[in-house]
Amino acid sequence: MRGIRTSVSDLRKKIFSEVAKIALEEEHNINDAVEAVPYTVCPGDEPKYRESIYRERAIAAERVRLAMGMSLRPEDRPVHVTSGLEESNISEKYYEPPLMQVIPSACNMCEEKKYEVSNMCQGCVAHPCTEVCPKGAIKQVNGKSVIDQSKCIKCGKCKQACPYDAIAKKTRPCSDACGVGAISTDELGRAKIDPEKCVACGQCMVSCPFGAIADKSQIFQLIRCMKEGGKVVAEIAPAYAGQFGPNASPKNVKAALLEFGFAEVYEVALGADIGAVAEAKHYAEHVATGELPFLLTSCCPAWSMLAKKQFPELIDSVSQELTPMVATARKIKKEQPDVKVVFIGPCAAKKLEASRKSVRSDVDFVITFEELDAMFEAKGIDPNTIEGDDAMHDATAAGRGYACAGGVAGAIEQCVNEYYPGVEVKIEHADGLAECKKALMLAKAGKKNGCMIEGMGCPGGCVAGAGTIIPINKAQQEVKKIQAESSEKIPPKELSEIELL
């Protein structure tokens, strides 16, 4: 469903936009305005998405809470939609865990895995499905195959053997999308996320066709901070290219951000440049010499969390360089200590990264492109039509390439080739958490020694993050355009010596 406009994406945008309007316009009646949102997005008496308008509003109310950074309400006692709003102030806390949550009333209770015979069954004489079933779970009823679910072990051999592809594999989309096995089923058959396994990549969220999984947002706190006079500097990730419409050029996007009220705009690709030259140096001096077996990149928080949670013995091989988000934020705050910094990007996991104590003082807010798009709508700003005069010139083509799978490794390889001639670079990269896990298993087994291994939690890289808006292939093309337009191709070696700690 990535990049496809659906009722789910429309509803999410409506919720974010209404919350942004409240933050922008309301001064004294915030609670009343919040309580009214479910009726604004689900008007009238006829349901649009569900069997009942009352269920639609109940789900919308939970979406509003998450969009305001609060947790879902308990199911066993009455709680106002606005309960806890005052305590949700950003100056007091970041996110009340967990970040990713299943909205119980929205979950379709999909079965985790099940094989069923469809009406495509031809009742063939050979019935290979019956012959290959190791448990005798398939029998013929009125000339058609039927699977006894009490005997089925879900091995899939029947589906593989059917010459008519008449056996369907039914799965839970969110569970299929989770590369770390963090989604199971609760006692009522609803999806349940294990926070100990979850790395907050958000792929479950964007894969659920019922929109039953959502993360928490800071758009309300961010806008209120700006309204109260806070000077907020925006740092925007390179995957922004093309996200806000066909005519939203880098100049236009920057102009739109300034029009919204951000004090300044920086490219996060600047931090990527800093990281590329630093990791190139680390590879040349420690991995290529054999001192360390391999180097794992650190820019993707979902990948880093996977490595640290499931492969703790590899922690020493994870790069200690700052992620582009943090490096850029530290540079901003080194120059302007009194400002607030908001990271704007494609990634849900960055919200979790920013909540760490070591990062908390550097990055004050994190929002996604999807959330920013709704904020623009709430204030009547169209990045496609606003005129911009000043382009972004903070980064090189190499740093901007971090947005796509293979871009991190490619940037580091370019820097090694340029600044450490004679050093051979062995590159490996994996995108999607399932593939990342395989790469880490091979590294653990000693199969990747001497390699620089790039991991991206989302299939396709950052351009496929949970907070993106357009199709992945289109986003990749747009990133390549801003790379081609870059005046500098790789960052200067001196960036590796920059002091940000």
3-state SS class at 159: helix
| Residue 45: both structure tokens together | 């008496």
Split at pLDDT 50, 70, 90, the class of 435 is: very high
Residue 42 burial (CB count, 10 A):
23
Run of H or E residues at 478: helix 472-484
Determine the Cα–Cα distance for residues 275 and 269; give it in Å rounded to an integer: 9
Q: How far is CA 443 from CA 113, 315, 407, 446, 448, in A?
A: 31, 12, 20, 5, 5
Give the pLDDT confidence score for residue 499 in this predicted structure. 60
Per-residue pLDDT tens digits for 129-165? 999 999 999 999 999 999 999 999 999 999 999 999 9
Domains of the chain: 7-109+174-216 (3.30.70.20), 113-171 (3.30.70.20), 221-491 (no CATH)
Residue 79: left if φ>0, alpha if ψ -120 to 50, beta else—which one? Answer: beta
Split at pLDDT 50, 70, 90, the class of 28 is: confident
| Phi and psi angles of residue 145, each rounded to the nearest 5 degrees, phi first | -80, 140
Residue with tokens 């370019």: 414
Assess contact for 59 and 105: CB atoms under 8 A: yes
Residue with tokens 């099940």: 114
Residue 130: left if φ>0, alpha if ψ -120 to 50, beta else—which one? Answer: alpha
How many helices and strands, by DSSP H and E, does the chain display?
19, 15
Assess contact for 171 and 204: CB atoms under 8 A: no
What's the per-residue H, E or C state across 401-450?
HHHCCCHHHHHHHHHHHHHCCCCCCEEEEEECHHHHHHHHHHHHCCCCCC
Split at pLDDT 50, 70, 90, the class of 371 is: very high
Cis amide leading into 471 (omega within 30): no
Per-residue pLDDT tens digits for 217-229? 999 999 999 999 9
Contacts 24+ apart (CB under 8 A), 74-78: 75/104
Split at pLDDT 50, 70, 90, the class of 370 is: very high
| Residue 98: both structure tokens together | 């967990």
Mean pLDDT over 426-449 rounds to 95
Residue with tokens 């758009």: 219
213 beta partners = 102
3-state SS class at 17: helix
Strand order in the sheet with 451-456: 295-296, 451-456, 426-431
Give the pLDDT confidence score for residue 387 in this predicted structure. 87
**Short-list 350, 366, 354, CA closest to 462:** 350
Residue 418 has pLDDT above 80, yes or no: yes
Residue 500 has pLDDT above 80, yes or no: no
pTM of the shown model:
0.93
Weakest-pLDDT range from 71-75, 373-377, 449-453, 476-480: 71-75
3-state SS class at 215: strand
Per-residue pLDDT tens digits for 327-362? 999 999 999 999 999 999 999 999 989 988 777 789
Per-residue pLDDT tens digits for 161-195? 999 999 999 999 999 999 999 999 999 999 999 99
Assess contact for 263 and 231: CB atoms under 8 A: yes
